[in-house]
Amino acid sequence: MSIQTIETPQELSENISALIAIEPKFAAIYEQVGLPDLRHNAGGFEQLMRAMVGQQLSVAAAASIWKRLVDAALTTPYKIGEATDEALKAQGLSKQKTRYIRSLVDHNIDFAALENMPNEDAIKTLTAVTGIGRWTAEMYLLFSLKRADVLAVDDLAIKVAAMELLGLAERPTPKQLNNLTQHWSPYRSAASLLLWSYYGLLRNKTAVPL
C-alpha cells in the first residue's frame, strides 16, 4: 500500500481541489483563507519530546522550558537516560512530564520505520508512549510525516470550524465528526489545514466559544 503524502504547496493545492470536488462547502473557505501553510517539521525524537514538553502549557512557558533543556543539552535519548529526575526538574519539567519523556526514551521508536507505516499503525506506535495521545500522534503524522489523509477530530478548533462548515447545531464529538467526514478521504489533511485557517477567521469575526 502506497503512503499518500503532501510534500509541496502545489500538492496541497491539488488536494484542496480534489477535496472541494467532494465537499463543495470548502470552496468558500478556500476563497477566504487562501492556501494554508504546510507547517512541516523534521520530526524525530526531539520533535516529539518538544511536543510533550509543551502540552497544556502556554506557548511562552513551553518555549522557556525547551530553551533551558536545549541549553543543558538534555534533548537526546542518551543525555536524558543519563540525567537524574532532579536534573530534569531543574530545567522546568514536572514530575509527570519527566515520566512522559522517560517513556519516550524507553520505547526507542524507530522513526525511519514510521515513514512507511499506515496511519493507524504509526498512531498505535506513537500512542504506546505514556503521555502521547491520539491528537499528538496525529500532529506528528500531519506535520512530520506529511500524511495526506489525517483529520484531527479531537482538535477543538477543527470541531468548531466543522460545526460552522457543516451547519451543525452543536459541536460534534470526535466520533460524530469522523463519521460525518469519512467521504473527505483521502484528502482529510487538506481539510484539517483549511479548517484551522477557517477557525482563525471565525475567531477574528466573532467570539468563538472555547
Q: Which residues of the chain have pLDDT under 50?
A: 208, 210
pTM for this model (two decimals): 0.91
Domains of the chain: 9-38+149-205 (1.10.1670.40), 45-143 (1.10.340.30)
Polymer length in residues for the chain: 210
Residues in CB range of 129: below 8 A, 6 or more apart = 48, 100, 103, 104, 107, 109
Q: What is the DSSP letter of 147?
A: B
Alpha helices in the chain (DSSP H): 9-22, 26-33, 45-54, 59-71, 77-82, 85-90, 95-107, 111-114, 119-127, 134-143, 156-166, 174-180, 188-205
Q: List phi, psi (to 5°) of 47.
A: -65, -45
pLDDT digits (tens, 9 = 90+) for 14-34: 999 999 999 999 999 999 999
Q: Locate cell 543519563: which residue?
A: 82
Determine contact, residues 199/161, Cβ cutoff 8 Å. yes
- pLDDT at residue number 1: 58
